[in-house]
Chain A
């Protein structure tokens, strides 16, 4: 079993969940409450990674991050080195890939907050920030946990995007799923099995935790798969 690969995957998943939380909460708030007529276009864009093959997303990310891609150029100007085949590049691609897994449970839980509570908050003098902090956020805790856990688990198990933009550099971009693939390619089934089983168990535990939390919160039906 490749501990280095497993630790790398966990590090990647933690980074991605943290970034998705910071970016996803304001975006989900906007998507849940905005009345902008073209909002559906953004909703569709957020859901794209659910239907696109990871290779398609990875391919475009690779182009964007390449030395002549917009993202790659920007990164080079800022940090003096390229973005493709680096850990940072992997994080960016994974954030995009796991986007719907964070944003959709957030939207679903923001939307289930009773509008009358928001009206009551406004009438009691609270502005949007106070209403969000004191009413919407605390009532959305199960949704937030779902979002965090799902983006973590989904990143942990990703393969196609990593292969496209990360390649297979030990300690840098060789995640656990790539490692399993490598071992199968070299007919080391026993080792592949140990890692695969561990990943299976972790994934199952994580999802059980999410369903358990949602059951306790009294709304078991809003895991984002299928979306809403």
Chain B
């Protein structure tokens, strides 16, 4: 009870490869700092948010990494440190809440109080139940109380042990906004006194907006942006990084400017003056990115096309033609060399030949980002 209320921040740097059967493996690779207060982890389902929380709580063992709360090291794979969940002082409220169905609310909340005296436990349980406004439910079982009440009990059960970090995995899904806000207010009130880092996972934009705290956006196992809710939410950015496989054209480029209202940005292809328009990504002007385009997504024209929706039109000269079965691989020099696929019929009709001047037509959404 008398533990020093420190405001140690949580620092996490983990890597974990997950395989699910024959499916391509998913790599979680995140490093983040969470100071005292709420930090929102935002991202679509499957982004790796829950896996990350499991790693912090000690329910999943990362392949490599380090997790520490201030000076307390929870995991350090280099030094062979890996504290079991029981010793981490990390509280974790699951999405399903996982209240023990056979125990009363009071017994649930007292469960984590292991070695103190029964009387003192009783007092602590009473205090935290009052803090979260569920003291009247002490004798009830989880099956007999409402969804919002269950969420309050789950928070009380986690916090009564005075953890050093609190992990919340979409704890308030399914509640209306007003109820949600009142629970979050109580949580904030509790944390005003205790000042611990709270990682709050959600995939709901409304929730991010309502909480109004620092946001870290995760996608596909990576941290993709960080900032205030407005900074992270306002850009309807491309979510997924493409896999390199299956893209014949892999181009290095520099981000020139973002046109957030249009959901696009312009990038300049490396070693040329050519600019193309690509979907908005998590990037700022000056960032180096790689753009991937499938050869089959590029149209070839022998005259300059007009009045079309595709936003990228590049003039160039054919360098070579190569037949592969019923497919013709055309290499075109536009300052940067592109590879396009056309049919035998197209090759005949357009009378394609090395040295011929052509136009490449590429839709904005045929351009994908790949990882550096």
Chain A interface extent, by class: 10 to 19
Q: Does B161 contact A (CB under 8 A)?
A: yes
B91 proximity list for chain A (CB < 8 A): 123-124
Structural contact, B57 and A123, CB atoms closer than 8 A: yes
Structural contact, A117 and B98, CB atoms closer than 8 A: yes
In the assembled complex, 18 residue pairs joining A and B whose CB atoms fall closer than 8 Å, in A order, are A116-B98, A119-B92, A120-B98, A121-B111, A122-B85, A122-B86, A123-B58, A123-B88, A123-B91, A123-B158, A124-B91, A124-B111, A124-B158, A126-B86, A126-B111, A126-B112, A134-B111, A135-B100
**Chain B, 271-301, contact with A by CB distance < 8 Å: what is the 0/1 string?**
0000000000000000000000000000000
Q: State A117–B84 Cα separation when bound (angstroms).
A: 16
Q: Does A226 contact B (CB under 8 A)?
A: no
Looking at the assembled complex, report how far the CB atom of A165 sits from the nearest CB atom of chain B, in whole angstroms.
41
Q: State A130–B85 Cα separation when bound (angstroms).
A: 14
Q: Does A114 contact B (CB under 8 A)?
A: yes
- The dominant DSSP class at the A interface is helix
Greatest chain B CB density within 10 A among A114, A120, A126 is at: A120
Give chain A's interface residues, CB within 8 Å of chain B: 114, 116-117, 119-127, 130, 134-135, 138-139
Q: State A139–B59 Cα separation when bound (angstroms).
A: 22
**Known contacts A119-B92, A122-B84, A124-B161; 11 further A-B pairs (Cβ under 8 A):** A120-B92, A121-B111, A122-B58, A122-B85, A123-B57, A123-B88, A123-B91, A125-B87, A125-B114, A130-B114, A134-B111
Looking at the assembled complex, report how far the CB atom of A91 sits from the nearest CB atom of chain B, in whole angstroms.
34
A115's nearest neighbour on chain B, judged by CB, is: B98
Q: State A119–B92 Cα separation when bound (angstroms).
A: 9
B59's nearest neighbour on chain A, judged by CB, is: A119
Looking at the assembled complex, report how far the CB atom of A1 sits from the nearest CB atom of chain B, in whole angstroms.
43
Q: Does B101 contact A (CB under 8 A)?
A: yes
B96 proximity list for chain A (CB < 8 A): 114, 116
Structural contact, A119 and B94, CB atoms closer than 8 A: yes
A117 proximity list for chain B (CB < 8 A): 98, 100
B112's nearest neighbour on chain A, judged by CB, is: A124
Q: Does B195 contact A (CB under 8 A)?
A: no
Q: Does B348 contact A (CB under 8 A)?
A: no
Instruction: Decide yes or no: A138 and B102 within 8 Å by CB, A123-B92, A125-B86 being known contacts.
Output: yes
Instruction: Decide yes or no: A122 and B102 within 8 Å by CB, A116-B94, A116-B96, A134-B111 being known contacts.
Output: no
Within 8 A of A (CB), among B87-126: 87-88, 90-92, 94, 96, 98, 100-102, 111-112, 114
Q: State A27–B195 Cα separation when bound (angstroms).
A: 45
Q: Does B266 contact A (CB under 8 A)?
A: no
Q: State A139–B141 Cα separation when bound (angstroms).
A: 14
B161 proximity list for chain A (CB < 8 A): 124-125
Q: Does B29 contact A (CB under 8 A)?
A: no
Q: State A127–B91 Cα separation when bound (angstroms).
A: 15
A120 proximity list for chain B (CB < 8 A): 92, 94, 98, 100
B90 proximity list for chain A (CB < 8 A): 123
Q: State A157–B92 Cα separation when bound (angstroms).
A: 50
B86 proximity list for chain A (CB < 8 A): 122, 125-127
Looking at the assembled complex, report how far the CB atom of A209 sits from the nearest CB atom of chain B, in whole angstroms.
21
Structural contact, A124 and B157, CB atoms closer than 8 A: yes
Q: State A124–B102 Cα separation when bound (angstroms).
A: 17
Looking at the assembled complex, report how far the CB atom of A203 sits from the nearest CB atom of chain B, in whole angstroms.
31
Looking at the assembled complex, report how far the CB atom of A137 sits from the nearest CB atom of chain B, in whole angstroms.
10
Structural contact, B102 and A139, CB atoms closer than 8 A: yes
Q: State A121–B157 Cα separation when bound (angstroms).
A: 11
B158 proximity list for chain A (CB < 8 A): 123-124
Q: State A138–B141 Cα separation when bound (angstroms).
A: 14
Instruction: In the A-B complex, list the 10 residue pairs whose CB atoms are closest, starting with the nearest.
Output: A124-B112, A120-B98, A116-B98, A122-B85, A123-B92, A138-B102, A125-B86, A123-B85, A117-B98, A116-B96
Looking at the assembled complex, report how far the CB atom of B158 sits from the nearest CB atom of chain A, in whole angstroms.
8
B92's nearest neighbour on chain A, judged by CB, is: A123
Structural contact, A125 and B112, CB atoms closer than 8 A: yes
A124's nearest neighbour on chain B, judged by CB, is: B112
